[in-house]
Amino acid sequence: MDFQVTIIGAGAVGCAVAYELSQDYETIAVIEKEEGVCRGVSSRNSEVIHAGIYYPKDSLKAKVCVEGNRLLYDFCQTNDVPHKKYTKLIVANGSEEESLLEGIYQRGTENGAELQIFTQSEVRKLEPNINATAAIFSPNTGIIDSHSLTDAYLHKSNAELFAHTKVIGVEKIEGGYEVIVREHTGEEFSFTTEILVNSAGLYCDEVAKLCGIDSEKEKYTLVFCKGDYFSVQNGKNKLVSRLIYPVVKKNFKGLGVHVTLSLGGEMRLGPDVEFISKEENYYVNPSKSAEFYEAVKSFLPFVEPQDLAPEMSGIRPKLASHIEAPPDFIVSEESEKGFKNLVNLIGIESPGLTSSLAIAKLVREKIGKQ
């Protein structure tokens, strides 16, 4: 075999898998259709290190997020990856939202997240510029530089990166797989691998099909969920010092437009939720500023519509079978379907960045059992 391991997708999770598997394997290839690492889902998001608050008890998301939070902070400190533990407030205004806050607190503590309930006066001491009658305080929420993280994973893995290279076919062969790829120049070539990990982000359902998996039957089909972000201008972008989230309403489509911070402390609002056709369109409509203002005005009284400017957008890979309910991650070694040492990572949206090392450990465990 040309490689012991091949990973399709050089995002944070794919490169974390390369790093983790490098403890057992010497020859690892990472295939990426873009010109470098961390150019897709991993780079176009809030870059939050999540604590594991929102996910259903005993779900894979809850497990790998709580574990991944600890692993990620340790990795960042050991490898000098830029990050900051800003902490987070989930704010409620009024009795109805306070009752929802109790449910979030209960779920988060059951998942193992360290949380505290703060009163209005306690919130005021931390964040005098926001409105909240009560809040959940999360001490282990932070922000990370996803590009630096992904670079560090790849560097420490010693994997060979094939950038600007798209997988166009996969053939099952004795003892592994033949992977057919096309470079951006149009040249095609193939190589063989014992282990194949599909971490192709927005396109992992299509890659699974190339491998011989019936994505529709296995409910691997994805839809694109776009989220836009607006920056806060006019001298107001540093009026909070930690992440501020509203109470999650009961539609599970998102966490609500919230405040995240850059590593320099500048505010960003977003993301919203918009299901789009399966095309990568990152345009942000400036007229959405009115919707963003309406979403945050109850807890950010200092923000006015004219303070908001389009900043960026991202697209999340959502499982089509779970649009109206909270989907879980799919991490599946496909021996039972006749594809030994093929691992599909499907629907790895938030908290995939936080969970990257924990997901990688799970992949290693699943391969080791074969």
Pairing of β 28-31 and β 160-162: parallel
Q: How far apart are CA 267 and CA 230, in angstroms?
A: 9
Q: What is the pTM of this model?
A: 0.97
Sequence letter at residue 297: K
Model confidence pLDDT, tens digit, residues 43-101: 999 999 999 999 999 999 999 999 999 999 999 999 999 999 999 999 999 999 999 99
Radius of gyration of the chain (CA): 21
pLDDT score recorded for residue 250: 65
For residue 1, how many C-alpha atoms fall within 13 Å in the half-sphere facing its CB?
Answer: 22
Find residue 228's DSSP bridge partners.
313
What are the residue ranges spanned by the domains of the chain?
A: 3-44+148-220+326-368
- The H or E element spanning position 244 is strand 243-246
Q: Given this model, what pLDDT does residue 222 score?
A: 97
Reduced to 3 states (helix: H, G, I; strand: E, B; else coil), residue 204 is: helix
H or E segment to which residue 276 belongs: strand 274-276
Whether 101 contacts 134, CB under 8 Å: yes
**Residues with Cβ < 8 Å from 23, sequence gap 6 or more?**
364
Cα distance between residue 97 and residue 102, in whole Å: 9
Pairing type for strands 88-92 and 243-246 reads parallel
Q: Which pLDDT band, with edges at 50, 70 and 90, does 251 fall under? A: low
Q: Name the CATH superfamily, with its identifier, for domain 3-44+148-220+326-368.
A: FAD/NAD(P)-binding domain (3.50.50.60)
Rounded average pLDDT over 195-223: 97
Backbone angles phi, psi at 254, to 5 degrees: 175, 180
* Residue in this structure with the two tokens 């939050």, named with its chain if needed: 48
Residues 340 and 193: beta-carbon distance below 8 Å = no
The confidence score (pLDDT) of residue 255 equals 82
> What is the H or E stretch that residue 134 is in?
strand 134-138
Residue 253: what pLDDT?
64
CA-closest candidate to residue 305, choices 318, 288, 282, 322: 288
> pLDDT category, 325, cuts 50, 70, 90?
low
pLDDT at 288: 97
- Prior bond of 351 cis (ω within 30°): yes
Helix (H, G, I), strand (E, B) or coil at 205: helix
d(CA 48, CA 144): 6
- DSSP track, 185-213: TS-EEEEEEEEEEE--GGGHHHHHHHTT-
Residue 341 amino acid letter: N
Please determine, for residue 7, whether its predicted confidence score (pLDDT) is greater than 80. yes
Nearest residue to 313 (alpha-carbon basis) of 288, 294, 334: 288
pLDDT of residue 324 exceeding 70, the answer is no
Task: Give residue 368's pLDDT.
Answer: 86
